[in-house]
Amino acid sequence: MLSALTGVDPYYVLSGFLVGFLVGQTGVGGGSLMTPLLVLLFNINPATAVGTDLLYAAVTKTLGTLVHGLNQTVEWRVVLRLASGSTPATLLTLLALSHTGLADHGGGVIATILGIMLLLTAVSLVFRRQFLTLVGPYLEGIRPSRTATLTVALGAALGCLVTLSSVGAGALGVTALLLLYPRLPIAVIVGSDIAHAVPLTLVAGLGHWWLGSVNWPLLISLLCGSLPGIVLGSHTAARVPDLVLRMVLAAVLTVVGARLVF
């Protein structure tokens, strides 16, 4: 770990700053931007990019959770339900990765999964409001016990997808929670999603470390740039219209996702 501190790369620091700034501006885009950036621009092995980004996300999401916790914008009951589904799903996915060898030799498969997740994230950013309007009425009358079951299932799905691609806990998770808990304020939805991402990315990231797919000097470099980037982005977020930010981010994710898939 000490050697990692001496291997800080200024290009990775700059990349971390830019991604952190966008995350601070939009609230999403960490895994959606960082992992494909590492794969396409720096030619990092997809499995290593995913594993490193997961631990990167665990640190940044922890800071976000502290802020939301202090502002009382976390519904811990929802977080517990999500985690009860995502934790076993994450462990099972890691077990599958270790037995199939995808972490070592499945770069193409992981890149394709990553690309698909980026395209789904772009769709959720562009059409979230229409999707909520279309599907929301069908979920309004479900019983609380059914909502709890669906939340656990959502956590399981996110656990699998995030472990494979490092993408999905942000935009996809928020969209699904808006459907399941329409009466919760949007700030609480976002805060709960961020809080759940902490154990999810930490368990998945430690699992990838165990599989040997974490680059520690890369991780330290990214964090050196992203933490101040997130702070600056958060302070300037109100100056740019949310719709503009979401459309720009969706366009970038579409291009990158298509590049990885095709």
Whether the predicted pLDDT of 143 surpasses 50: yes
Percentage with pLDDT > 70 across the chain: 85
In this prediction, residue 2 carries a pLDDT of 41
Q: What is the Cα–Cα distance from 251 to 125, expressed in whole angstroms?
A: 10
Nearest to 24, CA basis, from 194, 228, 230: 230
Whether the predicted pLDDT of 147 surpasses 80: yes
- List the chain domain ranges: 2-261
Nearest to 225, CA basis, from 11, 3, 64, 48: 11
Mean pLDDT estimate for the chain:
82
Whether the predicted pLDDT of 204 surpasses 90: yes
Question: For 9-61, what is each residue's pLDDT tens digit?
Answer: 888 999 888 888 877 666 565 667 888 889 888 999 888 998 999 998 888 88
Confidence of residue 224 (pLDDT cuts 50, 70, 90): very high
Confidence of residue 102 (pLDDT cuts 50, 70, 90): low
Question: For 231-254, what is each residue's pLDDT tens digit?
Answer: 777 666 556 666 676 777 778 778
Average the pLDDT over 208-228 and give the result: 91
Whether the predicted pLDDT of 257 surpasses 90: no
Query: By the 8 A CB rule, do 152 and 176 touch?
Result: no
Helix (H) or strand (E) holding 143: none
Average the pLDDT over 157-176 and give the result: 83
Q: What is the Cα–Cα distance from 31 to 19, expressed in whole angstroms?
A: 9
Whether the predicted pLDDT of 196 surpasses 60: yes
Question: For 58-76, what is each residue's pLDDT tens digit?
Answer: 888 888 788 778 888 889 9
Whether the predicted pLDDT of 130 surpasses 70: yes
In this prediction, residue 27 carries a pLDDT of 59
- Contacting residues for 196 by C-beta, under 8 A, at least 6 apart: 78, 79, 82, 83, 86, 155, 158, 169, 173
b/e map 114-133, b = 16+ CB within 10 Å? bbbbbbbbbbbbbeeeeeee
User: Is residue 28 helix, strand or coil?
Assistant: coil
Q: What is the Cα–Cα distance from 160 to 142, expressed in whole angstroms?
A: 25
Higher pLDDT, 111 or 149: 149
Nearest to 106, CA basis, from 211, 259, 222, 215: 211
Residue type, 176: A
In this prediction, residue 145 carries a pLDDT of 83
pTM reported for the whole predicted model: 0.82
In this prediction, residue 164 carries a pLDDT of 87
In this prediction, residue 1 carries a pLDDT of 47
In this prediction, residue 91 carries a pLDDT of 96
Can you state the percent helix, strand and coil of the chain, rounding each to 5? 85, 0, 15
